[in-house]
Structure 1
Amino acid sequence: MANPQEPFKPGFAEALMKLDPEDGEQIVEYFKTQALLMREKALLQASVREQKKLLVENAKLKSDIEDLRGQLQDKQRRAPPLPRPLSSAPATEVAQSPSLTDTDATMASGVASGRPLSSSLDQRERQSRRRRGERKARPISDPCLLQESEPQVDISRLDLRVGRILSARRHPLAEALLVQEVDMGEAAPRTVVSKLGEETDVEEIQGGLAVLLCNVKACKLKGVVSQARLLCCSSSDECMELLVPPSGSVPGDRITFHNYPGDPDRELQSKQRVWDQLKSELLVDCKGVANYKGCSFEVKGKGLCRAPTLTNCTIR
């Protein structure tokens, strides 16, 4: 069977014809057909394997592109505005101008001697201050400019999404902690460690929807890595309830705020302490609706997030 087009040697076919003159030719044709089918099957399997390999590589490339795009958007949003360039006349025009002031003359001489313009101006200004007996004033920092250079801290920087609790169990090293597997509409569920208290019914929360903060940095709690933060409302350490998304929500739905549009951070940086600055403004009002500075937690087209029974309490 070295050659698929000629799978048998002539001697083999002749031997079959001698052994069975009536059916020998049919047997030879059958073997040839089977050999061709096996060859086509092998080619098809190789093509399917190559196609699966290409699909996996394509998905990986798409994921890398999305990661780079998110990093670029974060950098562009946090970059301070570029200063406007100062228009300056060429050195030849300055030297030939008939109406030069003292400062202009200093600048022209600095250019001609090859010294930087800034050093020439600074020297000229120091000499003038010495003659007048003045001191150089300290620069005054403008609070408005500082606010523009620093990223604004508001609720839009939090990536709040709906998740479904697939399973929950007590942490083996701490009774007050629960370990949940949560479906976030992603390829794999996330592991979340939360402090809901020893009175929480584990079976009751399984299968239910919850609100989670998804762009926190993963951290290890008592040996278990937590990949998100489960939001709950509480009036005390003993009385806590999970924040409930509106009916019709599905895992992966984003929680938005009408007065605070914008894309969330890819990952909250611990040194900026964004969550610590915002959590004091997260409250449940007298109607049981979760809000930030009076702006409700909303799943677009589906409704508002609420506390099951508590009112006028904090969210944490």
Structure 2
Amino acid sequence: MDSDKMFHPSLAAALMKLNPEDGEKMMEYFQTQALLTREKALLQASVREQKKLLVENGKLKKDIEQLRRELNDKQRRRGAKALLSPSKPANSPAAAAPQTAGEATRRRRRDKKAAPEAPLLEAAPAVDVSRLDLRVGRVLAVRRHPLAADLTVRDVDTGEKAPRTVVSKCRPDDPTSSLAVLLCNVKACKVKGVASQARLLRCFRPDGPAELLAPPAGSAPGDRVTFLNYPGEPEPELQAKQRVWEHVQPDLRVDARGVANYKGCGFQVKGKGLCRAPTLTNCSVGCT
């Protein structure tokens, strides 16, 4: 190590003169101490600088957070002002005049009264056999209509508190006591003075024989007749203007096996079987 760089030449000469043997060692010792002192000073300065930077960074973070809060507050106030003050054309004289909360409220009420209400659009229910309330009924009694020789009046048990009265055309081959399938959600109407509360389903050929549609063996009055491919609950009462029966009836058929179906899906009483025509095949299903 060059002593001239660390010590004054006169100091080095004096040490060598005082102690020729250990003078150089003493010089090296002093030089080492000097280097350590310098490094310690540099390290302390570096630590102070780091602390200073940490303090400045903390202050910058606080400033940034404060600015963010102020910006959010301004945006909220601007949004609230836009809601309270309806937009006006740029060339309108009132655009330059600020509106009070009361004026804005009155204006919204006027606009609400002036604007026509948009009609609510509801999806129309599908027109299919699921809208028919078809039930099993037991014919309890059959009698002639008092005012029409070609009509009969039946009392039919449909599993309700009281039997339903059904007025239909007289057929000489109709059984007087049997299970039948009834359309029960038609509107009750008077037929020559006698109220009819349901309709009987028949299998028929045009200008040919007809017979009552028969539920499966083991059916009980009140059992629902359903369709696997057309789930859903029937309407409480069919509306005449919707003409549901008129749309559905052309697709009610009896197939070659004598099974009644709607678009290929059988009339079924769940857990008991399918409804059939007693003797007819390949014919239509209607009501009377």
Question: Is TM (by shorter chain) over 0.5?
Answer: yes
Query: 2:107 is matched with which residue?
Result: 115
Query: 1:39 is matched with which residue?
Result: none
Once the 2 structures are TM-superposed, how far is the Cα of residue 118 of structure 1 from its aligned partner? 11
Out of 188, 191, 199, the residue aligned to residue 162 of structure 2 is 188
Residue 201 (1) aligns with residue 183 (2):
no
Residue 266 (1) aligns with residue 266 (2):
no
What is the SS of the residue equivalent to 2:162? coil
- Aligned equivalents of 2:255, 2:208: Cα separation in 1: 20
Length-normalised TM-score, structure 2: 0.59
Deviations 1:145-185 (A, max 9, x none): 97x52222211111100011111122233232221111111
Query: 1:135 is matched with which residue?
Result: none
Once the 2 structures are TM-superposed, how far is the Cα of residue 308 of structure 1 from its aligned partner? 0.9
Closer, same or farther: CA 103–287 of 1 in aligned 2, 3 Å: farther
Q: Is the 8 A contact 1:196 1:240 kept in 2?
A: no
Out of 153, 159, 168, the residue aligned to residue 179 of structure 1 is 153
Closer, same or farther: CA 192–159 of 1 in aligned 2, 3 Å: same
Query: 2:41 is matched with which residue?
Result: none
Question: What is the identity, as a one-letter code, of the residue corresponding to 1:235?
Answer: R
Query: 2:69 is matched with which residue?
Result: none
Matches within 5 A, 1:60-139: 92-93=78-79, 95=81, 115-116=107-108
Query: 1:305 is matched with which residue?
Result: 275
- Aligned equivalents of 2:245, 2:78: Cα separation in 1: 57
Once the 2 structures are TM-superposed, how far is the Cα of residue 207 of structure 1 from its aligned partner? 1.8
Deviations 1:235-285 (A, max 9, x none): 024411100000011111110110111111111122222212211111111
Q: Is the 8 A contact 1:282 1:290 kept in 2?
A: yes
- Aligned equivalents of 1:294, 1:91: Cα separation in 2: 65
Residue 247 (1) aligns with residue 217 (2):
yes
Question: What is the identity, as a one-letter code, of the residue corresponding to 1:201?
Answer: D
Once the 2 structures are TM-superposed, how far is the Cα of residue 117 of structure 1 from its aligned partner? 10
Out of 200, 207, 222, the residue aligned to residue 230 of structure 1 is 200
Closer, same or farther: CA 194–91 of 1 in aligned 2, 3 Å: farther
Matches within 5 A, 1:30-49: none
Question: What is the identity, as a one-letter code, of the residue corresponding to 2:234?
Answer: P
Question: What is the identity, as a one-letter code, of the residue corresponding to 2:131?
Answer: R
- Aligned equivalents of 1:103, 1:243: Cα separation in 2: 72
Question: What is the identity, as a one-letter code, of the residue corresponding to 1:315?
Answer: V
Out of 210, 214, 220, the residue aligned to residue 184 of structure 2 is 214
Closer, same or farther: CA 95–274 of 1 in aligned 2, 3 Å: same
Once the 2 structures are TM-superposed, how far is the Cα of residue 306 of structure 1 from its aligned partner? 0.4
Query: 2:226 is matched with which residue?
Result: 256
- Aligned equivalents of 2:149, 2:213: Cα separation in 1: 22
Closer, same or farther: CA 282–103 of 1 in aligned 2, 3 Å: farther
Give percent identity, aligned residues only: 59
Deviations 1:68-99 (A, max 9, x none): xxxxxxxxxxxxxxxxxxxxx989516469xx
Out of 282, 297, 310, the residue aligned to residue 252 of structure 2 is 282
Q: Is the 8 A contact 1:284 1:290 kept in 2?
A: yes
Length-normalised TM-score, structure 1: 0.54
Moved over 4 A (4+): 89-92, 94-97, 101-106, 111-114, 116-119
Closer, same or farther: CA 292–93 of 1 in aligned 2, 3 Å: same
Query: 1:154 is matched with which residue?
Result: 128
Deviations 1:108-144 (A, max 9, x none): 98x975534996xxxxxxxxxxxxxxxxxxxxxxxxx
* Max Rg structure: 2
Once the 2 structures are TM-superposed, how far is the Cα of residue 302 of structure 1 from its aligned partner? 0.4
